[in-house]
Structure 1
Amino acid sequence: MVVLVCFVGHDYQRIIDGVNHWRAREPLENIYLVYDRKRDKYGYASKLNAKDLSEVLAFAGQRPELVGVNPQSYEDVFASLYGILRREVDERGRRVLVDATSTTKEAYGAVVTVSLMFPNVSIYVVPPAERGWYVPEPDTPGFEEWFHRVRSVRGLMPQEIYLPGFRLERPSEDEERVLLALEMHGGKTDSIKTLIKWCNEDPNNPAIKNRYSRLIDRLVAKGILVEGPAAKTKPVHLTSFGLVLAKALKTYYGQGYETHTLSSAILPTLK
């Protein structure tokens, strides 16, 4: 069962589109609508949207839960979302998807930070079908005025996005080699034997097979790889996060940074 936490700003239809996307794929247990409680024009728009969304998104006789926050306060958003995730993930064992489509940069930073503290929590955004509709075309009279006004808006004191001291563990050199080999072959392999060949090592050597088996187990535990159903051959593929990470590694080493740290068996194919 899935719980959705939707931040509500000036967007309306895109929030509905996101909910409908997930509702068609898996059963929903609950929906939280996190709205702007401030007494200003942004809060006014957010409250109107939250009110209408609570009616449109009602299902099985149940309305979404409304949660008011100050989206310009990192601490307030952090505390509110933390409470939701503690309740839904820790106490009820549910998977949670957080819609960060319609919120502030401060709130988005809090969403990412809190979400990394809990298992089975994902973040998504719903891109607009039409981008920049509110920006005047450069060859129209209103563009210069809009451009001057936007670029001249003054800033307040920077709001640091506080992160925990613990960081995601980066892959070891051997793990990087595995990720690069998989990325260069479509992100998946039919067996550990094939993967070992791609890394230019002997797949018939028991010690090497055991080492790669342990590497795969560690990468699976980190959420970077997923194992297939055939336990004997051990097919694996990169997760969505693993694919992004592998592409980043490929770009990094392809630019020539610290190339001496990776085996030359992999690097020539990156050029």
Structure 2
Amino acid sequence: MDRLLIIDGSNLLFQMFYGMPARIVNREGKAIQGTLGFVGAAIKMIGMTQPTHLVVLFDGEHPNSRTELLAEYKANRPDYSQAAESENPFSQLADVRRALTFMGIRHTEVQEFETDDVAASYAYACGAQMSVVISSFDSDFFQLISENVNVLRYRGKKSVLCDVAYLKEKLGVAPCRYADFKSLTGDSSDNIKGADKIGPKTAAQLLCEFDNLENLIANAEKIPKPSVRASIIQNVGLLRRNYQLIKLDTRAALPFSLKELEYRHSGLTTNEVLAGIGLK
């Protein structure tokens, strides 16, 4: 079966920039640890998943519909515009893009929407005809997991390929109910507040009993625990807004056709890629 590997480029760049044991510079004194880690990780992911199609997506700097719903959405993220180069992952983004081009890997900065939305469009468009692997630590992608769609949490030899069974064991919910689950608990990484008194275990129990968020809201009076019942009733607007913020669909256009994403690994090593773009 064909396989599409989607790499969340911004997520991986941050992981590698901050995850390398030390700041690494080349012979000219240029910092390259983020690029070095990114290229090495991408090559290892390719070896793990053996994709026939491949794309790397980077988040763009632009307003989106989610900030219109919630002004505080992702407002907790650091502003790197004034950060020193040594503290700024984006200072190595241009080198990462050059490396991807050298490797023959399609990549783009997502316009209008977010990386999550474009990855979702690919998952929905391609999941029925091929295997799809999304590499990211962004848990929003859990809602896209299906028989043919998995999420790769890359950590070298400790990498985990998250499937339906993984999510059910970890959180007690099916992927199709993950957006409902996060609407209840909130998402601190995106600055989305959940309903009071609703933690992960309570959210999973509620969805097990009431199936989905709308059914839970419609039958809130039947919730046995008074504090939980009151929280759901008092936070209906917040819960529905959260669902709009978290739910992924097919709104985003696909930046590349599947034909354009066809990929065959050349066997290049990390050192060969860095030498090829003049970073050694």
TM-score, shorter chain, exceeding 0.5: no
TM-score, structure 1 as length reference: 0.35
TM superposition score normalised by structure 2? 0.34
Name the one with the larger helix percent: 2
Larger Rg: 1
